[in-house]
Amino acid sequence: MTKSVTDVICPFCGTLCDDLEVVVSDDGKTIVDVYNACAIGAEKFMHAQASGRVTRPRMQQPDGSYKEVSYDEAVEYTAQMLAKSKKPLMYGWSSTSCEAQSVGHEIAEQVGAIVDNTATVCHGTTLLAVQDVGIPSCTLGEVKNRADRIIFWGCNPCHAHPRHMSRYSIFPRGFFTNKGHKNRKMIVVDPRNTDTAKMADIHFQIEQGRDYELLSALRVALRKEVLPDTVAGVPKEKIYEAAELLTSGRFGIIFFGMGVTQTLSKNHNIDEAIMLTKDLNEFTKFSIMAMRGHYNVTGSGQVLGWQFGYPFCVDLSRGFARYNPGETSSNDLLRRGEVDAVFVLGSDPGAHFPISSVKKISELPSVAVDPHITPTTEVAKLHVPVAFVGVEVGGNCYRMDNVPIDARKVVDPPEGVLTDEEFLTRVNKRVKELMEA
Amino acid sequence: MSEYLIKNGFVFDPVQGIKGDKADIAVKDGKIVKSSEISSKAKTIDAKGKSVMAGAVEIHAHIAGPKVNEGRNYRPEEKLFGYTPKKTGSRMAGGFSIPTTFKTGYEYARMGYTTAMEAAMPPLYARHVHEEIKDTPIIDEGAYPVFGNNWFVLEYLKNKEIENVAAYIAWLLTETKGYAVKIVNPGGTEAWGWGLNCISIHDPVPYFDVTPAQIVQGLLEANEYLGLPHSIHVHTNNLGNPGNYETTLDTFKLAEGYKAKNKFGREQVLHHTHVQFHSYGGDNWGNFESKSKEIMEYVNKHDNITIDLGQVTLDETTTMTADGPFEHHLTELNHLKWANVDVELETAAGIVPYIYSPNIKVCGIQWAIGLELALLAKDPMRTFITTDHPNAGPFTRYPRVMKWLMSEKARKDQIDAFKYSDKVVAATHLASLDRELTMYELAQMTRAGPAKALGLAHLYGGLKPGMDADIAIYDLNPEKPATPDEIEAAFSRARYVMKSGTPVVVDGEIVSHGNKRTLWVNAKVNENPQVVRDIKDKFLRYYSVNQANYKVANHFVPNPYIIEVDATQ
């Protein structure tokens, strides 16, 4: 007989679906099936079962081979590395729980580290824009219950946030939207003809990197001022039409992704998108929301916020918190050779950072804490495997709209494998001893 | 367990009616006891020439939760100066109007505050509020979930179903580990879902077709039906607009004829918060004027109402409120960055930085109104000092507010420093008020009064044997007159602070994180299948989270103090 665990939270993307059903074997040790999840989410659960999983820390040897070490040795290596380092980088934090992040910050405060999360190569530009001009937003349930104008700008939820449209933004029948998608007009702005774009009522296939111009043009169109014949490859008639469509709605929202945050103009794009949203509030109700990637990158920003006052790029090396993206951001620090040790948890910079940064990581004392074997664990001196948060251990996570949801444990981790929080707690204790000595 | 004897201090304790007499305070096992109950091993603390009071109680501040944290994260400029490094026994701490959680705990404790209430908790974000509370050291905290724009409440009150509202309140307090019923811009914030507002208490809420007056009165009745420790805690409609004092008086009148029903010694049925923002006359910013006399005349005559000030401190600060439409109005006014979050089925919130400049006439008038409310109060047990932190100014300015209230000279100096002092004087009554609050009255306004209004008079606000040993010692000798600046300095850095019998501040410095507790109310009601069914239905159809993932689990509240209420009769 198998049993079913309900209301399970999916630890994959920022959509943070909380309606999964996971079927586990009678002894509660293996996952048999996953219902309600998207293909990526289901794979995350099934992957925890994969054979050949690393279950003990591994130290890289000079010849590139690995030697299994105990967790005690891994704790000692990590604590020594951090305590000795003058300016360590502690990066990642987006695929773990807030409880683990909190312990990590305590370590960072003691050793004078820089704490940075994946926003640094993702929605960090959004955070900068919010610091410039604010952000009118809402929860995803508001979108479900009220929204009749939906814009996806530079994002492709069909593939990156697969259940976003069915749970919140396009298809659900909400309180004031009882006809579901028939109540809604969908606009997609993307230079590519993506699967999301194919579903749209209007697809602006703009010239690449011209988002700022089109956003500005929409603000002009709202004011019924004069536009040139085409902007960003879009004829002006279409822009006036879109402005009319947006103002005629009752409640609208712009969802945006990496297509605007990490292309030409970066944070300036988001400044303009937020100002467009603010302008639209003169006519109707409008919100804007970042399509956050990792399931708990939002949580990392929150915990850093209440503990230190900044959402990412937090430099604790001077004994008090500083924040200066461009100076205290991971890639800038790595490429300038400003850090002398690297600790990674809950992210894979080896796969996502520029090769120049990854090379630096490979040259430094480094620890990667990750359940998987990843490009990062391959370059790190020490790989510490841990339990999957949201599968093998619970913990708090924040959805892309900042709503906190407590992830559930479904099965036990492989015997003897520590959780992020347990490993960090042991490192913290050891660091304390070393710093006091 | 540890024992202490605080000797020779001048004691101010409204609970026992001690008005500055020399008395010894004995402490054993975290509680205040009779001097005869401690052994000779008790540690003696000499408070000679100093004033001794109970730890102060904050009744209304925004110190934990989603909007506070959005304020922190979107204002890095706030932390450029004044960050303090990590020390032995304390974490690094920064921020001014929206300090980090660590700084929040430390700063309250240094001023002799040992309990604080988070004034607006969006239920869907309750877990976040409790995560921050957990990380705020020393002080005991509770949080008020917001009810005034909640769809359950709106639907039940349209049909005057008080018992259903009560059952829903009981359920939500338990789910969110909340403390009291908060009402912010009743109906107006739901209207904000469509970009609209309810300006008067008789404007119907769009679609739900119920009025703010019905919401306030219905929640008041449900609150007394349950017999909760605190009354409804109201921020009424029309905040911040010239001429709004009439809306405020209309709201007060909703409480007429109601008597408190509870076992906690609370006497009011309605607490109105930050009344300064609701006491404006005139009909534009040109003829804007104080209506504090009209407001206080009503409050003085009606002892089933309590208020707090919302005193403007003349600083650059960060406004944040569940009054979503107001923050939009404010950003249109000052053009500073605007953050907003609408929360499904429940509430909304907005944030805008604001500069209360002494060079702006309106700011000067606002400053005067807050002080007038306190100085015109006949009963200091019903008027409490707040800055509605951080809305009218950061809580760290309480010592300055106390200085203004205790010294006519300090007030006059400030009035003279205004750019438009003549206009401020002409639009207010402050210049004609010569009252100076006494230490005893201050203890009523910051200790015994708020503790009683919160239904916590058995724990906080006094130095009677049996109460919690929350004690503050200040460098103020009532036998020697203090200058205004000495008053401010003494209240800024208490000489010694004890929380539940543990010394937490010695010579103005943090020495311990104490053993902070989270207060929440567990109200029991009779089984109510309709409400159970309605809750299930709303989660199935309209919420974006499952019902099973809504409740704040116990591990988020590691050290709870649960107040039991039984309304099953």
Quote the strand ranges of B345-446, DSSP E. 347-355, 383-384
Q: Do A306 and B64 touch (CB under 8 A)?
A: yes
Give me the pLDDT at residue A47, please.
86
Report yes or no: B107 and B395 within 8 Å, Cβ to Cβ: yes
A50-88 burial string, b = 16+ CB within 10 Å, else e?
eeebbeebbbbeeeeeeeebebeebbbbbbebbbebebb
End-to-end CA distance of chain B: 40
CA A332 from chain centre, in angstroms, equals 20
Out of A7, A133, A285, the one facing B549 most closely (by C-beta) is: A7
Q: Do B337 and A309 touch (CB under 8 A)?
A: no
Closest residue on chain B to A166 (Cα): B544
Give me the pLDDT at residue A256, please.
98
User: How far apart are the C-alpha atoms of B472 and B356, rounded to whole Å?
Assistant: 31
State the pLDDT confidence band at A321, using cuts at 50, 70 and 90. very high
User: How far apart are the C-alpha atoms of B204 and B217, rounded to whole Å?
Assistant: 14
Q: Please count the CA atoms within 13 angstroms of the CA of B333 that sit on its side-chain side.
A: 15
B132 phi and psi angles, rounded to 5 deg: -70, -40
Angle, helices A124-133/B66-74, rounded to nearest 10 degrees = 90
CB atoms within 10 A of CB B260: 17
Query: What DSSP designation does B93 have?
Result: B
Closest residue on chain A to B76 (Cα): A310
**Chain A residues near residue B194 by CB distance under 8 angstroms:** 146, 250-251, 285
Which among B283, B313, B292, B280 is positioned nearest to B377, based on CA atoms?
A: B292
Number of Cβ pairs closer than 8 Å across A and B? 185
pLDDT over 80 at B253, yes or no:
yes
Query: What would the two tokens of residue B495 be?
Result: 């000489």
Give mean pLDDT, residues B474-488.
Answer: 96
Q: Do B94 and A287 touch (CB under 8 A)?
A: no
Place of tokens 């015994």: B448
For chain B, list the domains and their CATH numbers.
Answer: 3-53+460-510 (2.30.40.10), 56-432 (3.20.20)
pLDDT over 70 at B1, yes or no:
no
State the pLDDT confidence band at A132, using cuts at 50, 70 and 90. very high
pLDDT over 90 at A48, yes or no:
no
Torsion over CA: A399, A404, A408, A414 (sign): positive
Q: What is the mean pLDDT of chain B?
A: 97
To the nearest whole Å, the CA of A362 is away from the closest chain B CA by 32
To the nearest whole Å, the CA of B473 is away from the closest chain A CA by 29
User: How far apart are the C-alpha atoms of A222 and A230, rounded to whole Å?
Assistant: 16
pLDDT digits (tens, 9 = 90+) for A180-189: 999 999 999 9
pLDDT over 80 at A172, yes or no:
yes
Q: Do A141 and B76 touch (CB under 8 A)?
A: no
State the pLDDT confidence band at B435, using cuts at 50, 70 and 90. very high
pLDDT digits (tens, 9 = 90+) for B116-154: 999 999 999 999 999 999 999 999 999 999 999 999 999
pLDDT over 80 at B231, yes or no:
yes
User: How far apart are the C-alpha atoms of B489 and A105, rounded to whole Å?
Assistant: 34
**Chain A residues near residue B541 by CB distance under 8 angstroms:** 173-175
Query: What would the two tokens of residue A360 be?
Result: 């630096």
Out of B127, B338, B542, the one facing A174 most closely (by C-beta) is: B542
pLDDT digits (tens, 9 = 90+) for B350-379: 999 999 999 999 999 999 999 999 999 999
pLDDT over 70 at B192, yes or no:
yes
pLDDT over 90 at A29, yes or no:
no
**Three-state secondary-structure class, residue B443:** helix
Query: What would the two tokens of residue B499 be?
Result: 């929380």
Max distance between CA atoms of chain B, in angstroms, equals 69
Burial of B222 (0-12, 13-18, 19+ CB in 10 A): buried
Q: What percent of chain B has pLDDT over 90?
A: 98
**Chain A residues near residue B71 by CB distance under 8 angstroms:** none
Report yes or no: B109 and B497 within 8 Å, Cβ to Cβ: yes
pLDDT over 90 at A52, yes or no:
no
A256 interfaces chain B, CB cutoff of 8 Å? no
Residue type for position B302: H
Out of A306, A321, A403, the one facing B125 most closely (by C-beta) is: A403
Q: Do B79 and A135 touch (CB under 8 A)?
A: no
Query: What would the two tokens of residue A76 be?
Result: 């000692």
Which among B518, B463, B452 is positioned nearest to B264, based on CA atoms?
A: B452
User: How far apart are the C-alpha atoms of A255 and A291, rounded to whole Å?
Assistant: 6
At CB < 8 A and 24+ separation, what contacts does A55-64 make?
Answer: A55/A385, A55/A414, A55/A415, A55/A416, A55/A417, A56/A385, A56/A416, A57/A382, A57/A383, A57/A384, A57/A385, A58/A382, A58/A383, A58/A385, A59/A381, A59/A382, A60/A380, A60/A381, A60/A382, A60/A383
Which among B68, B129, B128 is positioned nearest to B98, based on CA atoms?
A: B68
Quote the strand ranges of A324-429, DSSP E. 341-345, 366-369, 382-384, 395-398, 404-407
Give me the pLDDT at residue A51, please.
82
**Chain A residues near residue B340 by CB distance under 8 angstroms:** 134-138, 287
pLDDT over 70 at A216, yes or no:
yes
**Three-state secondary-structure class, residue B496:** strand
pLDDT over 70 at A412, yes or no:
yes
Query: What would the two tokens of residue A278 be?
Result: 């603010």
Q: Do B338 and A134 touch (CB under 8 A)?
A: yes
B394-420 burial string, b = 16+ CB within 10 Å, else e?
bbbbbbbbbbbbbbbebbeebbeebeb
**Three-state secondary-structure class, residue B59:** strand
pLDDT digits (tens, 9 = 90+) for A75-126: 999 999 999 999 999 999 999 999 999 999 999 999 999 999 999 999 999 9
Which among B522, B497, B192 is positioned nearest to B348, based on CA atoms?
A: B192
Give me the pLDDT at residue B434, please.
97
Query: What DSSP designation does A168 have?
Result: I
Query: What DSSP designation does A413 have?
Result: P
CA B146 from chain centre, in angstroms, equals 14
Give mean pLDDT, residues A274-299.
Answer: 97
User: How far apart are the C-alpha atoms of B32 and B13, rounded to whole Å?
Assistant: 13
Give me the pLDDT at residue A437, please.
83
Torsion over CA: B363, B369, B375, B381 (sign): negative
To the nearest whole Å, the CA of B125 is away from the closest chain A CA by 6
Which among B50, B19, B44 is positioned nearest to B491, based on CA atoms?
A: B50
Q: Give the residues across from B338 on adjacent strands.
A: A134
Closest residue on chain B to A306 (Cα): B100
